[in-house]
Structure 1
Amino acid sequence: MTRSGAQYKESLRDGREVWIDGERVKDITVHPAFRRTAGSLAHLFDLANDSPHSAALTDGAVHRAHLTPRSYDDLVARRVAHKTWAEASFGYLGRTPDYMASGIAGMAAVADRFTTPDYDGAPQVRALHRRMSEGDLYPTFTITNPRFDRTRAASQQEENDLVARVVEERDGGIVVRGAKTIGTAAVFGDEILVGTIEPLAPQDVDHAVCFSVPIATPGLKFISRTSYEAQARSVFDNPLSSRFDENDALLICDDVFVPWENVLVYRNVDLAFQQWWQTPAYTNFVHQSATRFWTKLEFLAGIAILLAKANNSYRMPPVQAQIGKLMGWVAQAKSMVLAAEAAFEPVQGGDGAVAINKELACAHRIMAGEMYPRFVAEIKLLAGSSVFQLPTSGHDLLHPEIGDLLAKYVRSPGHDAESRTKLLKLAWDALGSEFAGRHEQYERFYHGAPHVYLMQQAWEGDTQRCERLTQTCLDGYAL
């Protein structure tokens, strides 16, 4: 059965070591840097556990993200579940529990690929999948190496434990030391999967490890970035950053002991990289993230429409053209999700499993990273200066001396000062705040750097078909 939000929040009180502003956080469910976002995540569990959305989110026993799709209808059902959760945060919570859950389901669909001559991780992959699905757990992950000297391999850095690596092997498991970075939403999870999505050099065998352990495992330290939630004045003044700041953390492994039953990949450079690309893990990630991206664009387009109406400019032809451009981009994001589902592919060795089209999944990375900044820029043009010429706080509207002045001068046709301020503060939180800046950078890079995914698109795209078609044209005529 799925957990309730209260059960999820209780699981966070496990003594995990989270640091922010030089303080070790005792309980993230009540700390001002994390509590509202923890509440937003708890709401997702409540939606699945007991709400009118439960049937869309689960099959009655587990969340649909844990299931292995075996048909087009299964893919559609999974997308509906992804979208239901995405709409609950208006697309601003990216690494919700269904993200990594779907990736683990992808690995489990072809678990035998984790069997190698030197180490058999297949039983551990299957056990991880069962543990996550049956316990309705929240798997998080960090698979990015810290940015040190990029001209050197992980094992050739100035210190040999900057990047997480195995430093000792025991009968019962391994000891890991070093760091990983960009642990988005990591502090809110039940377990964290630690691995690498970057190619490793042949000599990096000590770094070629993937494991999943509880967040409260001794030796795991999470150092949080600045909390936008903590900086928020109120939900009225910062409606997005106050509730949907999933946070990003640096993970430090201080001689963490990992039992063998939690080790998926061990000292295998090729498999450490291929586990994402030669299983449905990556395409499952994209199914969730592309659905969330589409939802986020719908929300932002709604902001643009409401701003234009509040400014009494919605019917003006230039504004209609801008709205049309935004809606066209929303349709593009939607169509990529639907097309990737319709062009689904069988998973090789997956015993009937299917996944969304890999070529289209890769293409989505290019589209999303390039479209998002343009989308935001278009709305900023519509908004003008109104989004930052605002009262300091919503409480100013109730002030005995200046409240009446704001009521007179901040309103617009059809919108009193409170409703107009409420809309503009939402718009600023989405478009111009520090929280908004993080999201623009996130959407540009959450699938990786452009120089990586553009090359991969050349590999995954059917370049031979394009070449043959053009050659057919050339062969059809002569001098």
Structure 2
Amino acid sequence: MRSGQDYLESLRDGRTVWLDGELVKDVTEHPAFRNTARSMAHLYDLARDPELRDVLTVRPEGQDRPVLRAYHVPRTHAELIERRRAFKTWSEASFGFLGRSPDYMAAGIAGFVSAPDVFAGEAFDGRPNLAAYHRRMAEGHLYPAFTITNPQIDRTRAAGEQVQDDLYVRVVKERDGGIVVRGAKMIGTGAVFGDEVVVGTIEPLPRQDVQYALSFSVPLDTPGLKFVSRTSYEGRARSVFDNPLSARFDENDALLVCDDVFVPWERVLTYRDVDTTFGMWWLTPAYNNFVHQAATRFWTKLEFLTGLAVLITRSNNTYDLPPVRMQLGRLMGWLNIAKSMVLAAEAAYERVPGEGGAVHINREIASAHRAMAGDLYPKVLAEIKLLAGGGLIQLPASGHDLRHPELGPLVAKYVRSSGTPAEQRVKLLKLAWDALGSEFAARHEQYERFYHGAPHVYLPGIVRDGDPDLLAAFTQSCLDGYDLDGPDDLPGGAGAPHGSH
């Protein structure tokens, strides 16, 4: 298996990353990226750990080398559970704060190859390239990043109706060996840490926008490929003590710009086909696989935040107060809702049509999880902020104040609670602020609310993925069980229709 050091060495490839007007020469050493890069590297080292190797990797039938379990196509309920355990192990390593760790898109790729015929368009057959892509990424234990959202220029117009024709990634030229693309994509979460980046379009495109209907994967050092990073919270962190989460788990988000990037044909997955370009995300298990990883990570994140609430209330000596127990009970209830949805989605798994025998988590529950998580996360933060109170913001500017000859005694005297000395309390509340109130925390709240789409996208999706007709028929069965002239003393109605929930 690839080691963490192998991974770090792969990032030193001359990729073009811009931050605050500076061209970053080496993301493994730059103060805005180096700690998070090492957090990603740690995930690869966990996969080599003899105690975790069987959890995080699997040896596919007919192969003599293991691959990360996220790349493996599950074919049974048991294999879905095994994949979730791998997701859980990696998410626990970052306490749920690395949303786009390498297993996220790896699971998506496993979804692609579960239904390869979706990639067979009328004029371009991407199936051979897809098979080679999956093999290359899985056998190399590579980190696939992706950017699949068009910039928010004018959402009232189609891609081809924008004021400029290269605002979104499109084909500008064909060559014998491949294509040349130009334009941009947002939001490349974790993209600067990847080995390759998948560029595509998850939104539906009208027929006339075929020049924008494509998807491909290229290495991050491809000439003409540029990443414009947002502010780095890691770069602004004073220390791990003062910013324990943002200093280590700022996966970053970047704008991807293609400046006449040449893409070889063998790296093209869909081409000039609005159906395959859209269908690769929604007609394969890819998106459900995304949700499987994300829902497991969300469950893990709520475990961390609920544990944080417990520690805060114990430090404040309010843990045993009945109103506080009510709030903690509410948090633990929400946590178990998130956990239960993962387990239920696995238990109610669905089979992928075709001969491959692949399975994925229940589509309807996966769709509902998108809405639940985005709605729940701000409520979790609000509850913990209420439990923390003013102590969350009345903190010394730096942990170094605790060791200062003049300030140290003042902090030790006034920033403490009964049974919790100053250093322990400051350490806890610094962690809480980084999770709840810092700029890093604000980004995570926005991320949890929108990384699977906006409400106007995912709420109608629940109707699409569910069976509203069956629900209506169930209620109609009640209406059909009586009328003005019928008896009114019957104990029940006509009963539920066959197959009702």
* TM category, shorter: over 0.9
Q: 2:72 aligns with which of 61, 67, 77?
A: 67
Identity %: 67
Aligned-residue offset at 1:465: 1.1
Q: 1:388 aligns with which of 383, 393, 399?
A: 393
Q: Does 1:125 align with 2:124?
A: no
In structure 2, the partner of 1:228 is 233
Secondary structure of residue in 1 paired with 2:146: strand
Mapped to 2, the partners of 1:39 and 1:444 lie a distance apart of: 27
Aligned amino acid, residue 267 of structure 1: R
Per-residue deviation, residues 33-84 of structure 1 (Å, max 9, x unmatched): 0000001000000000234222211125111000000000000000000000
TM-score (norm 2): 0.95
In structure 2, the partner of 1:441 is 446
260-269 vs 196-205, which moves further: 196-205
Q: 1:87 aligns with which of 80, 89, 92?
A: 92
Q: 2:272 aligns with which of 247, 267, 272?
A: 267
In structure 1, the partner of 2:57 is 58
Aligned-residue offset at 1:112: 2.1
Q: 1:417 aligns with which of 405, 413, 422?
A: 422
Secondary structure of residue in 2 paired with 1:218: coil
270-279 vs 136-145, which moves further: 270-279
Q: Give the gaps of 5 or more residues in structure 2.
A: 60-65, 485-501
Mapped to 2, the partners of 1:452 and 1:271 lie a distance apart of: 20
Per-residue deviation, residues 416-473 of structure 1 (Å, max 9, x unmatched): 1000000000000000000000000000001001001111111111111101001100
Mapped to 1, the partners of 2:158 and 2:275 lie a distance apart of: 15
Aligned-residue offset at 1:351: 1.3
Q: Is the 8 Å Cα contact of residues 283 and 355 (structure 1) preserved in structure 2?
A: yes
In structure 1, the partner of 2:487 is none
Q: Does 1:366 align with 2:365?
A: no
Mapped to 2, the partners of 1:142 and 1:116 lie a distance apart of: 22
Secondary structure of residue in 1 paired with 2:153: coil
In structure 2, the partner of 1:168 is 173
In structure 2, the partner of 1:218 is 223
Mapped to 1, the partners of 2:355 and 2:87 lie a distance apart of: 22
Q: Does 1:29 align with 2:28?
A: yes
Q: Is the 8 Å Cα contact of residues 228 and 434 (structure 1) preserved in structure 2?
A: yes
In structure 2, the partner of 1:303 is 308
Mapped to 1, the partners of 2:397 and 2:53 lie a distance apart of: 40
Aligned-residue offset at 1:117: 2.1
Q: 1:330 aligns with which of 325, 335, 339?
A: 335
Q: CA RMSD in A?
A: 0.7
Aligned-residue offset at 1:350: 5.0
In structure 1, the partner of 2:10 is 11
Mapped to 2, the partners of 1:9 and 1:63 lie a distance apart of: 18
Mapped to 2, the partners of 1:142 and 1:352 lie a distance apart of: 29
Per-residue deviation, residues 357-389 of structure 1 (Å, max 9, x unmatched): 000000000100000000100000001111110
Per-residue deviation, residues 307-333 of structure 1 (Å, max 9, x unmatched): 000000000000000000000000000
In structure 2, the partner of 1:180 is 185
Per-residue deviation, residues 202-260 of structure 1 (Å, max 9, x unmatched): 11100000000001100000000000000000000000000000000000000000000
Aligned-residue offset at 1:97: 0.4
Change beyond 3 A, Cα 1:350–1:286: farther
Q: 2:465 aligns with which of 453, 460, 465?
A: 460
Equivalent residues, number: 478
Q: Is the 8 Å Cα contact of residues 110 and 350 (structure 1) preserved in structure 2?
A: no
Q: Does 1:289 align with 2:288?
A: no
Secondary structure of residue in 2 paired with 1:477: coil
Change beyond 3 A, Cα 1:413–1:151: same
Q: Is the 8 Å Cα contact of residues 184 and 256 (structure 2) preserved in structure 1?
A: yes
Mapped to 2, the partners of 1:69 and 1:51 lie a distance apart of: 23
Mapped to 2, the partners of 1:283 and 1:303 lie a distance apart of: 30
Mapped to 2, the partners of 1:150 and 1:465 lie a distance apart of: 34
Aligned-residue offset at 1:271: 1.4
Q: Is the 8 Å Cα contact of residues 11 and 195 (structure 2) preserved in structure 1?
A: yes
TM-score (norm 1): 0.99
